[in-house]
Structure 1
Amino acid sequence: MELPSKYLQRAVEEMSSLPGIGKRTALRLVLSLLQQEKREVVGFAQSFIDLIEHTKMCKTCHNISDQEICGICSNPNRDKSTICVVSDIRDIMAIENTMQYKGVYHVLGGVISPMDGIGPNDLNIDSLISRLEPEGALEVILALSATTEGDTTNFYLYKKINSYPVKVTIISRGIGVGSELEYADEVTLGRSIINRSPFDLNISN
């Protein structure tokens, strides 16, 4: 796509590098920005600069945060004995929207996927294991997507955690096989958490 300005060309290329945005959509978005007041566009750009410069990953759970420890981990009203394991930060947002969970979280940063070159050492698994005893964990909830990679990761985590005096549970399969957690509706996801079951029962089934 040949554009009349090298600056427009670069802006479109940068915009189209984002997930789910093709060249045509990127061009439409960039042209829309050009039609805005300069102060609005500068404010828009500054919000992303601030995001990169000032946000952190929580040292405890790897959630996004403005502080060293995120608001969930530092909240005295959260149940620290229950840790919900998710693959992505977006999954925390989805579960929080259900208002059915009062424990804490742990973000793996992905799932085991040999096809994509992602192994256990590429995920935040060791930091999960290191939390179990200091935080007095009584239950670890596996809330990964119902995919082959998610199931593989669930089983790996179960084998790692099983030697600890911690109950390992898994959210119910109200979420369709192959579905990503973030796309489940709030009611379905909330019920899946409430109706979670011991992981070893799912193995035998």
Structure 2
Amino acid sequence: MSPEHPTTAVSPPEGTPGQPPEESAPVPSRRTFIATTAAGGAVVAGGLVAGPSVFGAEPADAAGAPPDSRVSLTVNGERHTVTVDNRTSLLDLLREHLDLTGSKKGCNAGACGACTVLVDGRRVNSCLTLAIRLEGAEVTTIEGLAEGDRLHPLQQAFIDHDAFQCGYCTAGQIMSGVGCIDEGRTGSPEEIREFMSGNVCRCGCYVNIVRAVEQTARGK
């Protein structure tokens, strides 16, 4: 026979004599736990948003208007001095302050070329150019190309070759074409396409645009 093992006695839970032992607290359900946690998080977040900043009082100018600066530049032969928000682009200066709306705001990210103008004779995307960086600069827009009623040769060539449809990109295309001609980048249709590739025509008039630039470059 195998030896018997002694049985360990389990003491009953302590409690007040005559009363049943105290029951354990019920374990909350998963749904209750999630709801309680979400409510607590909302209270904390609300306190952070509505309460004072943990980093102290905000500077007085943080909630005020952004700083402005004065800039003087020549646009289409006319001198202008304006005060603008430091974040103002050349495109917005032209359209909103000088009422020169020929330059179009297409992508506003420098990807379409509709806003192309000449700054000191070089092509730039005016939507990416800060106005306050152009102190003393010479800016030419589509409005400044014609001489009175006489169109610029490239403007006339665009008409001759029907190099536009909707016309939204046309001002930028012409300004870029003028820059391309002045830079001597018109040796072949392939070269023109390469150096005007930053100007997008959603109507697809590229063949006629290249022909217009070629015509103008030959007559120069």
User: Normalised by the size of structure 2, how large is the TM-score?
Assistant: 0.23
Pair member with larger Rg: 2
User: Normalised by the size of structure 1, how large is the TM-score?
Assistant: 0.24
The structure with more helix, counted as a fraction of residues: 1
